[in-house]
Amino acid sequence: MDTRGFHVHSRSDAVVSLKVESIRGPWGRGFDGTASGSGSPSSHDESGRGQLAPSSGDCGRISSGGRPVKLAVFYDFLETIGGGERVALLLARHFDADLITTQFDPELPTRVGYPATRVVSLGPVFRKPPLKQIHASWRFRQSRLDGYDFHLLLGNWALYAARRHHPNAYYCLTPTRSFFDQRKAMLSRLAPGTRGVARFWTAIHGRAERRAIREVDRIAGISQTVRTRIRHYYGRSAEVIYPPVATSRYRFSELGEAWLSVSRLYPEKRIDLLFDVFRRLPSEQLILVGGHAPGDRAERYLRELDPPGNVTILGPVPEERLLDLYARCRGFVTAAVDEDFGLTPVEAMASGKCVLATDEGGYRETIQHGRTGYLLPANPESFAEKIRDLDESRLLAMRDACIRRAREFDESVFLHKVIEGSSQLGG
């Protein structure tokens, strides 16, 4: 591997020279990939919270012709923990792969339960958008890391690494929404002077993204919702592999007094709608868990929010605390705009809790209306009316159905699908 300009961060957080022997042979020739018993790391969501340490166990091993296959997992940044970060860390750990990224917190893998992850940093990027996204795209596009048999790409900016890294597969979280389906809404929130710059950037970078996708050998989307976007904006077909949840980590303790929402604090998550819901319900309580990356556009949005007195904003919390909040909440509410998939509703269902969500996007693929939750119009009165209608007996009656449904998205199902898809690629 050409290591010029790159560093690898190991368990001790020391920076050491990266030496990888070149392994010949295409991915999947004679593939007999099987996953040995792997300790399942604790699940966590879009909020950037911490995570429990994984249980003991061997990593999954993939072999080709009787020898280990060398994998690389590419992901945009490792600054906060969200759904994409979790998938990248899980894949790197389970398949003993190097994790290639840009901006990187060296303490993060250990802090969230993946201490042995080998993280290769392509270097830092500018902190402010859109320079951050442009710089990350450039770093991945210019990277050239030899010695790997196969390359798994995740995220919006790691996609640009496909150009020089074959064979590859792209696990698409979504085509960049600010370039495509949410571009108009994003531009409308900006001041006139900034809007012109953003319009130019999103048009140019959006065209670059469409070109970059041509270098991808195979695509999988995280939901049917995302697969539809891939077809529409990229003109490519894709299979669907749902993201993983470590369902065994979750438990039901009681039906508490407060409703729970776990989300990154961005406008497209409709945090303001949730506040409006609970303004109509002064006798109910909402606990909001979530954070955002430093220096991004969420800061102005948060300053403009005016939470009612019955809403408690906790920010990011340790994983132990979050698991307890899930276990003791009354139910779960979420209202994102056309959510890509939505891990947090599955986590809530794994805790035996009813989920109220907007009737759109990936929520339709996980929540069974009337059995594990309710899909509602995106207006505060619809949510408020449903909360008024749900008594304790109805919420408790949904517990077992919620847990069964969540198990359909367990980590074991995800890893099986990844191995199965990879073997087909090499066939």
**CATH number, domain with residue 389:** 3.40.50.2000
Q: Checking DSSP bridges between strand 67-68 and strand 71-74, what pairing results, if any?
A: unpaired
Confirm whether 67 is domain-assigned: yes
> For residues 87 and 423, which has the higher predicted lDDT (pLDDT)?
87
Residue 212 covered by a domain: yes
Report whether pLDDT(6) > 80: no
pLDDT at 251: 98
Rounded to 5 degrees, what angle do the CA atoms 101, 106, 111 make?
110
Distance CA 49, CA 71 (A): 27
296 and 332 both lie in a single domain = yes
Same domain, 372 and 276: yes
Beta-strand runs (E) in 42-156? 63-64, 67-68, 71-74, 98-101, 118-121, 150-154
Res. 43 pLDDT band, cuts 50 70 90: very low
The 3 state secondary structure assigned to 251-308 is: CCCCCCCEEEEECCCCHHHCHHHHHHHHHCCCCCEEEEECCCCCCCCHHHHHHHCCCC
Q: Which of 6-20, 255-269, 359-373, 389-403 has the lowest mean pLDDT?
A: 6-20
Digit-coded pLDDT (tens) for 288-317: 998 766 655 666 777 788 899 999 999 888
260 Cβ neighbours under 8 A, 6+ residues apart: 286, 287, 289, 325, 326, 329, 330, 331, 332, 333, 348, 353
User: Is residue 208 domain-shared with residue 229, that is, in the same domain?
Assistant: yes
CA distance 173 to 221: 6
pLDDT band at 349 (very low <50, low <70, confident <90, very high): very high
CB 340 within 8 Å of CB 361: yes
Q: In this model, does residue 159 exceed pLDDT 90?
A: yes
What mean pLDDT value characterizes the chain? 84
Question: 3-state DSSP call for residue 240?
Answer: strand
For residues 306 and 40, the model is more confident at 306
When divided into structural domains, the chain yields a total of 2
User: What pLDDT does residue 299 have?
Assistant: 65
Rg (CA), the chain: 21
- Measured N-to-C along each axis, helices 131-142 and 192-212 cross at an angle, to the nearest 10 degrees, of 20
Residue 192: partners with Cβ closer than 8 Å, 6 or more residues away: none
Q: What is the pLDDT of residues 395-419, one digit of tens each?
A: 999 999 999 999 999 999 999 888 8
Q: Cα 196 to the chain's mean position, in Å?
A: 30
Specify if 2 maps to a domain.
no
16 and 41 part of one domain: yes
Q: Is residue 327 part of a domain?
A: yes
Q: Reply yes or no on whether the pLDDT at 10 is more than 70.
A: no
- CA 4 and chain centroid, separation: 30
Q: Which two tokens stand for residue 420?
A: 């199965």
φ/ψ of 155, rounded to 5, equals 100, 180
Same domain for 38 and 56? yes
pLDDT reading at 15 higher than 80: no
Half-sphere exposure (Cβ direction) of 313: Cα atoms closer than 13 Å: 18
The mean pLDDT value for 195-208 works out to: 97
Q: Are residues 272 and 255 in the same domain?
A: yes
Which residues make Cβ contacts (< 8 Å) with residue 228, sequence separation at least 6?
A: none
Share of the chain above pLDDT 90, in %: 67
pLDDT higher at 300 or 373:
373
Single out the residue of 167, 195, 196 nearest to residue 72, CA to CA.
Answer: 167
Contact in structure between 348 and 260 (CB atoms under 8 Å): yes
Statement to judge: residues 144 and 60 lie in one domain: yes
Do residues 304 and 352 share a domain?
Answer: yes
Taking residues 14-31, report their average pLDDT.
Answer: 29
Residue 39: predicted pLDDT: 33
pLDDT at 36 over 50: no
pLDDT confidence of residue 164: 97
Same domain, 42 and 140: yes
Whether a cis peptide bond, with omega within 30° of 0, leads into 167 is: yes
Q: Based on the fold, state whether residues 156 and 296 are members of the same structural domain.
A: no
**395 part of a folded domain:** yes
Cis amide linkage into residue 130, ω under 30° from 0: yes
* Residue bearing the bigger pLDDT, 20 or 298: 298
Q: Which pLDDT score, from 0 to 100, does residue 2 have? A: 40
Is the same domain home to 177 and 264?
A: no
- Does 336 reside within a domain? yes
Residues 200 and 273 in one domain: no
Question: pLDDT by residue (tens digit) across 225-253?
Answer: 999 999 999 999 999 999 999 999 999 99
Does residue 31 contact residue 423 with C-beta atoms inside 8 Å?
Answer: yes
Domain assignment of residue 23, given as a range: 7-244+410-426
Handedness of CA 307, 360, 79, 286 (dihedral sign): positive
For 269, which DSSP code? G
- Residue 346 CA to residue 182 CA, distance in Å, equals 24
Residue 240 counted as domain residue: yes
* pLDDT tens profile 102-156: 999 898 887 777 888 999 999 999 988 899 999 999 999 999 999 999 999 999 9
423 confidence band (pLDDT: 50, 70, 90) = low
What is the mean pLDDT of the segment spanning 7-26? 34
Residue 151 lies in a domain: yes
Check residue 412 and give its pLDDT. 93
